[in-house]
Structure formats: structure tokens, C-alpha cells
Structure 1
Amino acid sequence: MDEWKDLQLRKLSCEQDLQKAYRLVMNFFNNQGFEYCAFTAYSGLPGRCASKINLNNYPYGWDRLYEQNGYAANDPLVAHCNQSALPILWDEHVFSEAPKLREDLVRQGLRYGWTQAVHDEKSSCYSLFSLARTHCRIDAEEHYGNLGYAIFASQKLHTLASKKLARLPSPKTCPLSPREIEVLRWSAEGKTASEVGRILCLSERTVNFHVCSCMRKLNVTNKISAVAKAAHIHVI
């Protein structure tokens, strides 16, 4: 088994194609007992639009469910990784303030896992790497036994993704006004239009006007999707 690991890591270190590298990583961790592997890279600073690369073998429909429910706005894994490169294990405590997200993860078979971030000090590119499975809790011994491999894999994918993102056209200036961003930010906190209005000293009608404007500019059909998309492009 150690020889197989060594061979796979050597192949990964030499691979220059992001998709092929991801498949090598996914195969490696499938053999380590993880059914699911996800990698997402962003180019852009918080508060500005960003380019994005997303690779995962999560159950069909998960990405759409995640966006439709606006989970990006209150995902504790994303919040942690935005601030730290330390890995975070998925458990009930982590999702204490996002129980619906936890419930949907478990329903989809994404019960046990961990996520870690790669922050690039030389550029605005950063990425998230996650491993997950349906059964068997991840204990400390297994976590640290695989952590070195996960760090190596995430760094390699991050390097390839950074090169790919650098070749993409620069993202356009964020279309939302500062006031629209404020409205979406408070909406992401779960505030109603009436509550947002009181906070920002606006009428409820004006708040709804800004929400509709955000929906139009972000090309979505409802407020939840507007919040999700704004979070994805790091406007909020």
C-alpha cells in the first residue's frame, strides 16, 4: 500500500493538468476510505467579484441545492476557511448555527468530513479542499494520518488552479451598489425586509426595491439565490 501511495503522489507531483490532478487526488482518497472529494479555488478579494473553479464528486444536485438555499452565506466551513488555513472537522458543534445545512449534508451522504484552506500570500487566489464520507466518524488518529497527504494534494491543486485562474479574463467590477450590498448582507443574516429597513433607516418598500435590483443584476430569480451568488463572488 505504501508503494502505491508513493507512486500516486509521484504522479500527482508531475501532473500539470488540473482535471487529471483532481482525478488522481480523488482516487487516492477514495482508497483511503473517503467517498467524496471537493476542491474549489477563488481568485479575488472578499468584497469583490471573483473567478471560481469548482471540482467535486458530491451527489448529483448538491451544488444546485447549496446555491438555491443560500448556504454559502452561513456555511461555518467557509467562514472558518476564510480566516484560517487550519483544517476543520465536520461535527455537530461546527454546524450548531447552521442546522439545516448539516441536515442536508447528512441526507446527501456527506456526514463525516473535514475541510482545509490554502491561502496564497503572493496573490488573491485561495482555495478550499474537502474530504467526506457517509459512514464512520473521523477520529484524531485517522485525521492526522491523512493530513500530510491532504495538504500535499490541496497545495498541488491550488497551484494548478491559480495558473488557470490567472489565464481567465479579469472579473468585471461588481455591479451592486454599496447600499444593495448592505441590504444583501443583512438579508444573509436572516433579517426580514422590515428589519433591514429599521436597521438601515429605509422603508420596507425601498428595501424590497434594492433586493429586486440585486436579483436583476445578479441574474437570479429570488432573494435567497441573490444572497448565495453574492456570497459566492465575495461581495458579502
Structure 2
Amino acid sequence: MNEWTQDVLDRLSDANEPSDVLAQISVATRQLGFEYCAYGLRTFVPFTRPRTLMFSTYDERWSDRYINAGYLQVDPTVAHAVHSGAPLIWSNEVFRDAPQMWDEARSFGLRVGWAQSVFEPDARVGMLSLARSGEPLTVAEILAKDTLLHWVVQTAHRAFCRLLGGSPLEGLEPLTRRQVEVLRWTGDGKTSDEIASILCISKPTVDFHLRNAMARLGASTKCSAAAFASRLGLLN
């Protein structure tokens, strides 16, 4: 760890607001040769109402336009981030299905971008995007800065999560070993009778563990409990 990265860590440890984190990440962004940065945090549960929080140093007019135009739903960088941990370099090809958004973003100086996501085992994903108005990214620059970019992404994500909270695992009582077992088999489509036979226990015992697991997860059915637990990484 060099002096610069240690300084960023020290300043982030003192951050009390997301705006403080964004300010320090903005400093790191400029050190990496970019003008703007944006961080987004998405929580995948509840399944039908995933929550996304966003912070950026973009022009406020563009940030407002992005929200009001519903670009979050069509942004290909967001779609990539929630499914892949691979870095993404902005290009005409990346935005081919959102040409209006791409044209408008570039009109605000967001012409060259590099995005990287980081996944949490608690059904959350964070993404940091760095952008600038000119000087296209070269292979040499990407190779030279890739390690530092990953470090900044991880550091930003930890700092934002510390202040934002909201993890689906917060306040959740851990599942027992037997609850995990019955939920795994439930997720595989097995009935209580079949699970009882597989685990060599009685059906009432299986149902007992399922009810307790549902209560701990706040699920109304055993199938939703299995799906929820799986999304949170509790069945691994």
C-alpha cells in the first residue's frame, strides 16, 4: 500500500456521510485520470422491489435527467453490473440499445467511461463508474490502472455500505443446519414427505424446521423461504 492509498483509507475511515465518501472517491478518481465518478448500490430483495441508491459527481442536470427519463431501467452498464464482475468500458456498442441516453450523457461530458462492480454475499451489488470527457482509454492505460481501479471500487463499496446499511442480513437470526438442509431440498422441489425420507426424520419434524425457517426469513411460504435464503447465500 502506497502513501496515496493509505491517505484515501484514512480519510474514508473518518467519513460520516455518503457525501464525504463521494468527495474522497472523487479525489481518487482524479488521481486515476478521470473527471467524474458515480457509485450505485442495489439490493436485490424483496425480489419485486429491488432498491437502488446512487451518488455521483456528474452534472446535476444530467443526474436529474437520468432519473426523470427512467434511464436506470435501460442503462446497459447497470444491467451488466448486476450480472457480471467483469470491468466494462463504455462504447457505442455497449449503448447500442440506449442511443438516446448515450447521446445525452455525452452532451454532459460523459464520453469515456470505465465501470466495475463488486458483489456481496447478502444480495447486494455495488458499482463504481469513472468517466471523463476526452482521451479514449488505451489497452496500456487499462492494464496500468486495473489493480488500482479494483482497489478503489472495493474501498468505496465498503465505505458506502458502512454508512448506508440496509443489508438484508441485518437483524436476521442465523438458520440452523437442519433448516438449511430442508430449505435446500425444498428448493430442489422435494415435498415434506420426500425430505423426511431423505433425511431419515419424520414429516412433522421437517414441517417444524420449515415453519421456523419461514419465520426467521419473514417468508409466507416454504418456496419463498427457499428462494429468499438462496438469494442471500444462506444455502451455500
TM-score for both structures, normalised by structure 1: 0.63
In the alignment, the residues of structure 2 paired with residue 32 and residue 160 of structure 1 have an alpha-carbon distance, to the nearest angstrom, of 19
Is 1:72 matched with 2:92? no
Name the amino acid aligned to 1:125: R
8 Å CA contact 1:52–1:165 kept in 2: the answer is: no
Partner of 1:113: 113
Letter in 2 for 1:158: H
CA distance in 2 between counterparts of 1:46 and 1:100 reads 31
* Offset at residue 5 of structure 1 (A): 2.6
| CA 1:72–1:93: 2 relative to 1, 3 Å | same
User: 1:151 — aligned with what?
Assistant: 150
Paired with 1:111 and 1:96, the residues of 2 have a C-alpha distance of: 14
Give the equivalent residue in structure 2 for 1:29: 29
Closer, same or farther: CA 97–169 of 1 in aligned 2, 3 Å: closer
Higher mean displacement: 18-27 or 123-132: 18-27
- 1:96 partner letter: R
Report the identity percentage: 24
Pairing of 1:85-100 with structure 2 (within 5 A): 85-100=85-100
Report the residue type matching 1:35 in the other structure: E
Partner of 1:83, secondary structure, is coil
Alpha-carbon shift at residue 38 of structure 1 (Å): 0.7
Distance in 2 separating the partners of 1:163 and 1:28: 19
Task: Select the structure with the greater relative contact order (CA < 8 A; seq sep ≥ 6).
Answer: 1
In structure 1, give the amino acid aligned to 2:80: H
Please give the secondary structure, in 2, of the residue aligned with 1:85.
coil
Deviation at 1:14, TM superposition (A): 4.2
Task: Name the structure 2 match of 1:20.
Answer: 20
Structure 2 contact 12–159 (Cα < 8 Å) conserved? no
What is the RMSD of the two structures over their aligned residues, measured on CA atoms? 2.7
The separation in 1 between residues aligned to 2:165 and 2:157, in whole angstroms, is 12
SS of aligned partner of 2:42:
strand
When Rg is computed on C-alpha atoms for both structures, the one with the higher figure is: 2
- The amino acid across from 1:72 in the alignment is L
User: 1:164 deviation in Å?
Assistant: 3.1
Is the 2:37–2:56 Cα contact (8 Å) retained in structure 1?
Answer: yes
Query: Take 1:142 and 1:55, find their aligned partners in 2: how far apart are those partners?
Result: 26
Q: Would the aligned equivalents of 2:28 and 2:152 in 1 still touch at CA under 8 Å?
A: no
CA gap 1:169/1:118 in 2 versus in 1, 3 angstroms:
closer
Unaligned segments of structure 2, at least 5 residues: 170-236
CA distance in 1: counterparts of 2:23 and 2:53, whole angstroms: 15
Per-residue deviation, 1:31: 2.8
Structure 2 residue 30 is the aligned partner of structure 1 residue 59? no
Question: In the alignment, what sits opposite 2:125?
Answer: 126
Q: Which residues of 2 match residues 160-199 of structure 1 at below 5 A?
A: 160-166=159-165
Q: TM-score, structure 2 length as denominator?
A: 0.63
